[in-house]
Structure 1
Amino acid sequence: MAPTLPSFKIPQSILVVIYTPALDVLLIKRADAEDYWQSVTGSKDSLLETFEQTARREVLEETGIDCTRGAHLENHLHDWQLENVYEIYPRWRHRYAPGVVHNTEHLFGLQVPAGMAITLSPREHTAFQWLPYQQAAQACFSPSNAEACLMLPRFVAPKGGI
């Protein structure tokens, strides 16, 4: 029997800023890192998975919000056409193939109604909070996540909401 090769994370991920019409941003607290607040993030499951597919899957897995094809919020996921390339934190490099030290992160926004029900994946996150976008930026542990929160007003459609 052939030996099983280790499965490494793909260094291509998404970041989805989930927000309300009032620009309150959802932050979720990582289960594996004390006081690490963030937006929805996640890596591609395969090289064939698109960034959009990854974003829709991760939002559902991490928050219970369904923005998959055919869902009520399907058209509220917006590709910001921005990417960040950053150095992977040393504490998480073991998840990637040897020698991989950089990740490419693709940004999205998802507008949801105020009071949206959130169902966390307890394996990944332990708490959530809604904060005005400036405060959310201050609470994020990741500089790229903080910057995405601060860019939110640029990507929001004129008032009208959902």
Structure 2
Amino acid sequence: MTSTEWTPSSWQSRPAKQDVVYPDKEHLARVLGKIKNLPPLVTPSEIERLRHQLSLAQRNEAFVLHAGDCAESFEACTDENISNKIGLILSFSLILIWGARLPIIRIGRIAGQYAKPRSSPTEKIGDREVMSFRGDNVNGLDPNERTPDPERLLRCPLSLRLIFA
């Protein structure tokens, strides 16, 4: 495989610069096994539709509106919050349609960043050194919940499946 070829597993041959270290590797393997058996969040037809729409934008025949949060918590992923974000994205797109006179490709970044890279594996909170907060998918914001927990990986996909079902 050349360095430019991409496959779903090609990332595994690359070095991880800020990898999460799970203390129980067997527990992590069990959780990853469960995730492998979950249905996809996006269907192949949705991927093909987006590819087509992006090709329109590439030819200046459409405009891409990509909007959403930079970082989120599991608790903030509620029906009300998502409805409000979708409403805001739709409002923006109406303004763009009127101004640009082009179709708008709406891409919502919702539930987009539940895991975060960190420049240091630890941080100081008061006089205590604790593991860095890596996002709800990895560990808790509370300094006493900083051990990476593989079960958190299951919380995000399941909550998203319920929202978009």
Q: Which has the larger radius of gyration?
A: 2
Q: Which one has a larger percent strand, Structure 1 or Structure 2? A: 1
Larger RCO: Structure 1 or Structure 2 (Cα < 8 Å, ≥ 6 residues apart)?
Answer: 1
**Which has the larger share of helix?**
2
Same fold (TM over 0.5): no
TM-score for the superposition, normalised by structure 1: 0.21
Give TM-score, length-normalised by structure 2. 0.21
